[in-house]
Amino acid sequence: MIEIYYIEDDETIGKTVKEYLCGKGCSVFLFGTLEDAGKAFLKHVPGIVLIDWNMPDGMGDGFCRWVRARWNDVPIIFLTVRNDTHDIVSGFENGADDYVTKPFELEVLYSRIGALLRRTGNVQKRYLSCGSVCIDTDRMAVFCGKEEIAVSQAEYRLLQILLENKGKTVTRERLLMQIWDNNGNYVNDNTLTVTMKRLREKLHHPLCLKTIRSFGYRMEDEI
């Protein structure tokens, strides 16, 4: 199922487009401000983004730049008024992949979404994120905010497992087995403690990475 973040401040248009795309089997999350969309991005990266260019709390080009700085390959379509050449040029300069002019036919928008996804592929599972922490699984790269963090193989696997199970407590026993024992490397319990300590320090002690005393660890979205 395609997950779409749709950023639109016109409630009537937003509901109409959402209803149509949901009828096509998409999962659509509608946001009335760029701020709300940004908060959602920090919790979960969608398959594609639709951005109305003029929002009450900012312009779409700034949001495009912000997305591109963290999730470079997320497909972006921006929606602009007919013949607004300035918005179209600005959109492409700041990272948009395509545009649709208003008013538009719903069938045309759906067709453009499909065409863009065929070109880009499904990037939804590529990015794992929680709070300021993000992993690009294709590049095996770790980010804290916009900063790329150098981590060891064990630190990367530890973070990856926790992000893949975001919201769930992962036991120390499971982490030891998946990170070390599966590779035939026997280690004691203290190895995990030291690895976690180093990872926390490199990530500047993120609040979303929690220790569940006597059990293990959990990645949890910050409220």
pLDDT in tens, 41-61: 988 899 999 999 889 999 888
- Give percent of the chain with pLDDT exceeding 90: 66
Contact between 6 and 50 (Cβ < 8 Å): yes
Q: Say if residue 168 is in the same domain as residue 211.
A: yes
Higher pLDDT, 180 or 22: 22
Q: Say if residue 69 is in the same domain as residue 147.
A: no
45 vs 43: CA distance, rounded Å: 7
Q: Say if residue 90 is in the same domain as residue 197.
A: no
Report residue 45: phi and psi, to 5°: -95, 125
Listing DSSP states for 46-72 in one string gives -SEEEEESEETTEEHHHHHHHHHHH-T
Q: Say if residue 150 is in the same domain as residue 171.
A: yes
Give me 115's structure tokens: 């065409």
Q: Say if residue 156 is in the same domain as residue 116.
A: no
pTM above 0.85, yes or no: no
Q: Say if residue 77 is in the same domain as residue 158.
A: no
- pLDDT tens for 165-174 read 999 999 999 9
Report residue 174: phi and psi, to 5°: -65, -40
Phi-psi region of 111 (alpha: psi -120 to 50; beta: other; left: phi over 0): alpha
Residue 183 CB burial class (10 angstroms; 0-12, 13-18, ≥19): exposed
Q: Say if residue 115 is in the same domain as residue 170.
A: no
Whether the per-residue pLDDT at 121 is higher than 70: the answer is yes
Contact between 32 and 9 (Cβ < 8 Å): yes
104 vs 45: CA distance, rounded Å: 26
Q: Say if residue 26 is in the same domain as residue 105.
A: yes
Q: Say if residue 115 is in the same domain as residue 24.
A: yes
Query: What is the CATH number for 38?
Result: 3.40.50.2300
Average pLDDT over residues 88-109: 83
| Total number of domains in the chain | 2
Question: Could you list the residue range(s) of the whole structural domain that residue 186 is in?
Answer: 129-219
pLDDT of residue 209: 96
Query: What is the CATH number for 170?
Result: 1.10.10.10
Whether the per-residue pLDDT at 186 is higher than 70: the answer is no
74 vs 72: CA distance, rounded Å: 6
Q: Say if residue 112 is in the same domain as residue 140.
A: no
- 7-35 b/e with 16+ CB inside 10 Å = b? bbeeeebbeebbeebeeeebebebbbebe
Q: Which one of 103, 120, 137 terminates a domain?
A: 120
